[in-house]
Amino acid sequence: MMKLLSAPRLRRAKISARLALALLLALLPHAAAHGARQLRRPARERAASATPRRAPDASAQAKIAGRDAAAAHPAPRPRLVLLIVVDQFRYDYLERFGDLFGGGGLRRLQQEGATWVEANYDHIPTETAPGHSTLMTGAWPAETGIIGNEWYARDEKRRVNNVQDDTARLIGGGEGERASSPRNLLVSTLGDELRLASNNRSKVIGISVKDRGAILLAGRMANAAYWYSSLTGQFVSSNYYFNQLPEWVRRFNDARPADKLFGARWERLAPLAEYERRAGRDDAPWEKYGNGTAPIVFPYTITGGLSAPGPAFYDALIYSPFTNDLLISFAEQAIVNEQLSADADTDILSVSFSANDLVGHRHGPYSHEAMDMSLRVDRQIEQLLNIVDARVGLRNTVVVFTADHGVAPVPEQANELRLPAGRVKISDVLNAVRNRFKARFKRPNVEQDTTGDYIQTYWGGQIYLDRAALERDGVSPAEAERVAGEAALTVPGIARYFTRTQLSNGAVSPADPVARRALHGFNPRRSGDVLIIPESFKYLTELGAGASHGAPYSYDTHVPLIIMGGGLAPGRYANAATPADIAPTLARLLRVQAPSNAVGRILLEALR
């Protein structure tokens, strides 16, 4: 028998019913939308979401436990980071000559390491100093301040070399040789961060024939940087690092290893037919340099024209593969005597092979000499890897291989191959700018032309304007920059220009690769006012011979990038990368702070 509700209870029940109905009506649109979304999802996804979740099986549980354990107990840091840089080693050398490489050098790195096949520098100029400054900072020249091999210092009214330090004293070397240090580098390197993290226990050492190749990789806090003196044939440094060379360096120099190479004969490593098939003729006229009387065909006997070792010989030696051999011997002594990797704190050794660049400038990338240097540096890298394996163990080492830039074909050779190559004279560009300045800014009815001093200087593809002269005549700097750029475009072979005003205001599109590379190379304190970009395959130079680099085009930007060890998964990666990615990736592997101004990405696709 149904029980009747009292009047108060009945009112409360009616109110509850109305509230329930209102709530149901409010939820209906959400339920309908959810149903529509479910209908729009693929059937496979709907089925998966409808399947009840199962507890992880034993295999899955083991993987989860392994990840948790790895997070709680990360793998030991490598004992040594070995950075190998081959100056002017284009990426395509790996493809053109790879089948002639031995098994223990570059081929080993490619097989056992992670290789990025589309690694390009994203700045200009593509020169030695900017490239080296990017590698261990992960930053562009805009941040590192190393905007070229040289630049013009407005305040001092003089040209400045990238590692020039007039306050430092050269230790070793010959009379009149300049001292160098990293004081012009404005940011930290990976080595700096590693030493900060280890309270200076980690050791960081840079070695090269070029001072910039040793100094800029090592950084501001490095224990040492050593480079080759072409006056004495010895390895030198500066008092930025110490007041005298370590005993082991003095012993190395006292043994006079360079002198033992006097009269060394440089011959081809492979049969002549291989060189002719891949690089054409050996006696190409476009390989002439200097006064045109120097030999340009194999074999070469290295004497510098002397009857006994002396400065001319020590300088001639750097244009051969034999200074690479000196670097390897010196690197081995550094590993042993500095006790690199002897404790739990990771050390860094960077070795930059300069001879490939010096030979490449003389003969070009499509020459017997450049090919032979590539084959020999492969064997030399194998020797270095074997030394590290014996002294440290490659299983305890992360090895990085890359280059600081590429190189363009010799224009005369490119012309013969019907490429649109040529040499554009700097003087022609400057004359065009001066004439346009006169036409645009010369005061009417005034006999004297005051525009003649508007150009302060030209260096490194950049026009520096005299700001005082512009202010004197009431000329807007932005307008002068634009007029200069438009004048440069009237010279055949000039493709583009960028002005200080554009780059300072970010008035360029990041989607435009050339504009982006110009922006990444612009430092407001050190850069010029108008950046001139030649057309592809064209050099902006007064030189009439040899090969060069510095452009934003693939032959100058595309370089190898290989990392072996550190838990990276071996393989070929087609992901776009830049050498600026090296430092942040190594920082992740070493579990230290990335360098101060690093903009590169961590190469996560290869991290296991």
| Per-residue CA distances from 185 to 99, 161, 333, 579 (Å) | 39, 12, 27, 18
pLDDT of residue 288: 81
Query: Domain end: 396, 430, 463, which one?
Result: 396
8 Å CB contact between 238 and 227: no
pLDDT of residue 175: 87
Q: Do 354 and 447 reside in the same domain of the chain? A: no
Residues in contact with 368: Cβ distance below 8 Å, sequence separation at least 6, in sequence order: 268, 275, 279, 282, 297, 298
Q: Token match 């110490």: residue?
A: 242
pLDDT of residue 72: 53
Q: Do 429 and 525 reside in the same domain of the chain? A: yes
pLDDT of residue 60: 45
Q: How far apart are CA 144 and CA 265, in angstroms?
A: 41
Q: What is the average pLDDT across 12-30? A: 44
Q: Do 200 and 295 reside in the same domain of the chain? A: yes
pLDDT higher than 60, residue 23: no
Q: What CATH number is given to the structural domain containing 170?
A: 3.40.720.10
Q: Do 347 and 461 reside in the same domain of the chain? A: no
Percent above pLDDT 70 for the chain = 88
pLDDT of residue 73: 59
| Per-residue CA distances from 187 to 127, 244, 373, 381, 504 (Å) | 19, 26, 33, 29, 20
Judge whether 454 lies within some domain.
yes
User: What residues form DSSP beta bridges with 151?
Assistant: 160
Q: Do 447 and 365 reside in the same domain of the chain? A: no
Annotation says 323 is catalytic: no
Do strands 530-534 and 462-465 pair parallel, antiparallel, or not at all (unpaired)? antiparallel
Other beta carbons less than 10 A from residue 33's beta carbon: 10
pLDDT of residue 290: 72
pLDDT in tens, 387-443: 999 999 999 999 999 999 999 999 999 999 999 999 999 999 999 999 999 999 988
Judge whether 490 lies within some domain.
yes
Burial class from Cβ neighbours inside 10 Å (0-12, 13-18, 19+) for residue 604 reads exposed
Query: Domain end: 396, 414, 441, which one?
Result: 396
pLDDT of residue 445: 76
Lowest mean pLDDT among 22-26, 151-155, 203-207, 367-371: 22-26
Judge whether 579 lies within some domain.
no
Q: How many CA atoms lie within 13 A of 88 on its CB side?
A: 25
Q: Categorize the per-residue pLDDT at 507 as very low, low, confident or very high, splitting at 50, 70 and 90.
A: very high
Going by the DSSP 8-state scheme, the letter that residue 182 receives in this structure is S
Q: How far apart are CA 344 and CA 198, in angstroms?
A: 10
pLDDT higher than 70, residue 8: no
pLDDT in tens, 198-226: 999 999 999 999 999 999 999 999 999 99
Judge whether 608 lies within some domain.
no
Q: Token match 């404790």: residue?
A: 343
Residues in contact with 110: Cβ distance below 8 Å, sequence separation at least 6, in sequence order: 94, 98, 562, 572
Do strands 224-228 and 397-402 pair parallel, antiparallel, or not at all (unpaired)? unpaired
Residue 456's SS3 state is strand
Q: How far apart are CA 486 and CA 176, in angstroms?
A: 42
Per the model's pLDDT, the better-predicted residue between 26 and 199 turns out to be: 199
Which residues constitute the domain of residue 344?
Answer: 83-89+127-396
Q: Do 177 and 240 reside in the same domain of the chain? A: yes
Going by the DSSP 8-state scheme, the letter that residue 119 receives in this structure is B
Q: Do 449 and 375 reside in the same domain of the chain? A: no
pLDDT of residue 294: 79
pLDDT of residue 295: 83
Dihedral angle sign, alpha carbons of residues 417, 373, 400, 223? negative
Q: What SS3 string covers 512-527? A: CHHHHHHHHCCCCCCC
Q: Do 339 and 193 reside in the same domain of the chain? A: yes
Q: Do 293 and 384 reside in the same domain of the chain? A: yes
Query: Domain end: 525, 540, 555, which one?
Result: 540
Q: Do 511 and 381 reside in the same domain of the chain? A: no
Judge whether 18 lies within some domain.
no
pLDDT of residue 29: 41
pLDDT higher than 80, residue 468: yes
8 Å CB contact between 496 and 530: no
Residues in contact with 410: Cβ distance below 8 Å, sequence separation at least 6, in sequence order: 286, 287, 363, 364, 366, 545, 546, 547
pLDDT of residue 446: 78
Q: Do 436 and 381 reside in the same domain of the chain? A: no
Q: What is the average pLDDT across 68-86? A: 79
Structure tokens at 127: 């020169």
Other beta carbons less than 10 A from residue 511's beta carbon: 7
Judge whether 65 lies within some domain.
no
Nearest C-alpha neighbor of 88 from the set 302, 376, 368, 408: 408
Quote the mean pLDDT of the chain: 90
pLDDT higher than 70, residue 46: no
Lowest mean pLDDT among 71-75, 124-128, 191-195, 266-270: 71-75
pLDDT higher than 90, residue 41: no
pLDDT of residue 5: 44
Strands (DSSP E) contained in 304-424 are 347-353, 397-402, 422-424
Q: How far apart are CA 435 and CA 319, in angstroms?
A: 41
pLDDT in tens, 234-286: 999 999 999 999 999 999 999 999 999 999 999 999 999 999 999 999 999 99
Q: Do 202 and 322 reside in the same domain of the chain? A: yes
Judge whether 574 lies within some domain.
no
pLDDT in tens, 546-595: 999 999 999 999 999 999 999 999 999 999 999 999 999 999 999 999 99
Q: How far apart are CA 253 and CA 245, in angstroms?
A: 10
pLDDT higher than 80, residue 229: yes
Judge whether 25 lies within some domain.
no
Q: How far apart are CA 399 and CA 390, in angstroms?
A: 15
Tally the domains of the chain: 2
Q: Which of 126, 128, 144, 451 is catalytic?
A: 128
Q: What is the average pLDDT across 467-496? A: 97
pLDDT higher than 80, residue 47: no
Q: What SS3 string covers 394-426? A: HHHEEEEEECCCCCCCCHHHHHHCCCCCEEECH
Q: What CATH number is given to the structural domain containing 477?
A: 3.30.1360.150
Q: How far apart are CA 181 and CA 237, in angstroms?
A: 9
